[in-house]
Amino acid sequence: MTDETRPTVEHTIATGTHGRYLVSPGTSLGAPLLVGFHGYGETAEEEMTRLRTIPEIDRWAVASIQGLHPFYRRRTNEVVASWRTRQNRELAIADNIAYVSSVLNRLSEEPRAAVVLTGFSQGVAMAFRAAAAMSPTVAGVIACGGDVPPELDAHMLARIPIALIGQGARDEWYTSDKRTADETRLRAAGVTVHSIVLDAGHEWTAKFSDACARFLQSISSR
């Protein structure tokens, strides 16, 4: 057997790594907690800025978790991150869930009135995955510009009591067909779904921030 025909075998190995997250404490002890997941090629800071546009968000503690896979943004050399790629998809998902669970466990050391998870674009999948895996159950999920992960079955989605979905009317990636499919899946699992179509493309708008404020108010007033 020549060197050219000798087989090459791929292996994987688990290793420890460090993630980063930002926290803005609420105005009172035990304030409800909103946890955000950024989109592809973004940072925890960008997601925190996005969440701070929600009216009256100071009543909530806010956390922003950054993806485990950093890289350089070419034009600015800024360090940004993603949640996964196609390579070793299932292993990356498991790593991300373990990472996010560790962060949420630490954030929940202080008793919370409620915990809501939110994601934008690629971060939507992480919000739903974490919500389906988290114990105790979350109070709700807010999603903008991203779809429900295909591997979550009805039993897993049933752990989410209520969800708010935002979709841009001109969003070429998260289309109205995808939103309709997500609504159908969630409702079939018993999730109460509120959705809003935004006069926008693939973006989180001021109108969606207003809708988030109403959604969070309805949860905190229960």
Is residue 157 within 8 Å of 163, Cβ to Cβ?
Answer: no
Q: Classify 172 as helix, strand or coil.
A: coil
Report if residue 5 sits inside a domain: no
Report if residue 14 sits inside a domain: no
Whole-angstrom distance, CA of residue 149 vs CA of residue 127: 10
* Domain CATH for 146: 3.40.50.1820
Domain that holds residue 149: 21-220
Q: Domain tally for the chain?
A: 1
Report if residue 122 sits inside a domain: yes
Report if residue 67 sits inside a domain: yes
Q: How many residues does the chain have?
A: 222
Report if residue 93 sits inside a domain: yes
Q: What is the largest CA-CA distance in the chain?
A: 72
pLDDT digit string, tens, across residues 24-35: 987 677 789 999
Whole-angstrom distance, CA of residue 154 vs CA of residue 134: 16
Report if residue 153 sits inside a domain: yes
The pLDDT value recorded for residue 2 is 61
Compute CA 189 distance to the chain's CA centroid, rounded to the nearest angstrom.
19
Whole-angstrom distance, CA of residue 205 vs CA of residue 168: 9
Residues of the chain with pLDDT under 70: 1-4, 27
- With b for 16 or more beta-carbon neighbours within 10 A and e for fewer, the 88-123 pattern comes to eeeebbebbbebbeebbeebeeeebbbbbbbbbbbb
Is residue 144 within 8 Å of 119, Cβ to Cβ?
Answer: yes
Whole-angstrom distance, CA of residue 209 vs CA of residue 205: 6
The DSSP code sequence of 143-157 is EES----TT--HHHH
Instruction: Name, in order, each residue with C-beta under 8 angstroms of 29's C-beta and a sequence gap of 6 or more.
Output: 110
Report if residue 2 sits inside a domain: no
Report if residue 108 sits inside a domain: yes
